[in-house]
Structure 1
Amino acid sequence: MSYSKQRGSALIVSVFIITVMAGFAAAMIRIDWSGQEMTSREVFATRAWFAAHSGNEYVLSKLFPLGQKASDPDACSQGGSSDSKTYSVDASLFQCQKVTVVCTRFKYGSDSQSAYKYQLESSATCGNGKFATTRTQETWAKDLP
C-alpha cells in the first residue's frame, strides 16, 4: 500500500472515536442526573417521615402532659360530642410544606371504669413539583382504667 491511499483513514478513525466517547459521556451524564434525582427524593422522603413522626409526638405531648397521671381527652375533641381534632404543626424546621395530625378518641371499658384510646394519624409533605413526597404515620395510645 502506498502512502497516498492511506490518507484520510486517521480522520475517519478519530471521528469514530469522538462519536463513541460522546455517547459514553452522554450515558454517564444521564446516570449521574438520575442518581441526583433519586438522592433528592430520598432526602425529601426522610424529611417527611421525621416531620410526620414529630407531629405525632407533638399531639402525644398534648394528650399526656407532663406531671399528670391521666390523659387530657379534650386534646382530641373539638368540643361537644366530636371525638376528633385536627392539628396543623409548623413544618418549617424540616423545610416541609405542612404537617397535619388527626387525633381520634374512642371510649372503652365499662362505664364505671371507662378510659380512652387515641388514634393519631400524621401526614407530612416535603419537596415541591415532581419531588413532592408525602409520608403518613399512625400511632395508637390509651389510658389505663
Structure 2
Amino acid sequence: MSVSVQASVSSRRQRGSALIMAIFLITVMGLLAAAMIRIDHTSQSTTAHEVFATRAWYAAHSGNEYVLSQLFPLGQSTSDPQACQSYVLSAAAFSCQQVTVTCQAIEYQNGAGQTAHRYQLESTATCGTGALATTRVQEVWAKEIE
C-alpha cells in the first residue's frame, strides 16, 4: 500500500509542474507571435515607404524632363528662354499629389562672345499620405550648346 500512496503523490506533483510548463510555453509562444506580428508590420511599412519614394523620384525626374522638352524643343538650334517658368504638373500616373518644377535662367557669354543661357531646374514630387508621405527633389542644370 505504501508504494501506491507514493505513486499518487508523485503524479500529483508532476501534474502541477506540467501545468506550470504549459503556462510558460503558452506565454513564450504568445510573446514570439507578438514579436513576429510587429516585425511583419514594420516590414510592410518599410516596403510601402520605399514604393512611394520610388514613385516620387520618377515623378520628379519626369517633371524635369517635361520642362527640358519645353526649353529645348525638337528642331530648334537654340533654347526657348520664355519656357523657363514655374510648372505645377499632375502626377496621377505615379499616384502622387503633384510635381512642382521651378526654372531659373542665367545668361552668360559663351566662347564666341554671344549671350547664351544656362538653366537650373528643381523638381519636387510628393507621393503617399500621412506617415508614409515621401518627397523627392531633383535638380538639373542645362545649357545651350555653343
Do both proteins adopt the same fold according to a TM-score greater than 0.5, normalized to the shorter chain? Answer: yes
Q: How far apart are the structure 2 equivalents of 1:11 and 1:5?
A: 10
1:1-145 alignment to 2 at 5 Å?
2-76=10-84, 85-109=85-109, 113-145=114-146
Q: How far apart are the structure 2 equivalents of 1:64 and 1:55?
A: 14
Question: Alignment partner of 1:103: what SS?
Answer: strand
C-alpha deviation, 1:4, in angstroms: 3.0
Structure with max Cα Rg: 2
Question: Alignment partner of 1:7: what SS?
Answer: helix
Which aligned segments of 4 or more residues in structure 1 are displaced greater than 4 angstroms? none
C-alpha deviation, 1:60, in angstroms: 0.3
Amino acid at match of 1:91: A
C-alpha deviation, 1:116, in angstroms: 0.4
Instruction: Give CA-to-partner distance per residue, 1:9-33, whole Å, 9 cap, x none.
Output: 2111111100000000000111111
Q: How far apart are the structure 1 equivalents of 2:13 and 2:80?
A: 95
Question: Alignment partner of 2:138: what SS?
Answer: strand
TM-score by length of 2: 0.89
Count of residue correspondences = 137
C-alpha deviation, 1:6, in angstroms: 2.5
C-alpha deviation, 1:143, in angstroms: 1.0
- 5+ residue gaps, structure 2, are 1-5
Amino acid at match of 1:144: I
TM-score by length of 1: 0.90
C-alpha deviation, 1:69, in angstroms: 1.0
Give the number of the structure whose residues are more often helix, by fraction. 2
Q: What is the Cα-based RMSD across aligned positions, in Å? A: 1.5
> Identity rate of aligned residues, in percent?
61
Instruction: Give CA-to-partner distance per residue, 1:23-59, whole Å, 9 cap, x none.
Output: 0000011111111111111000000000000000000
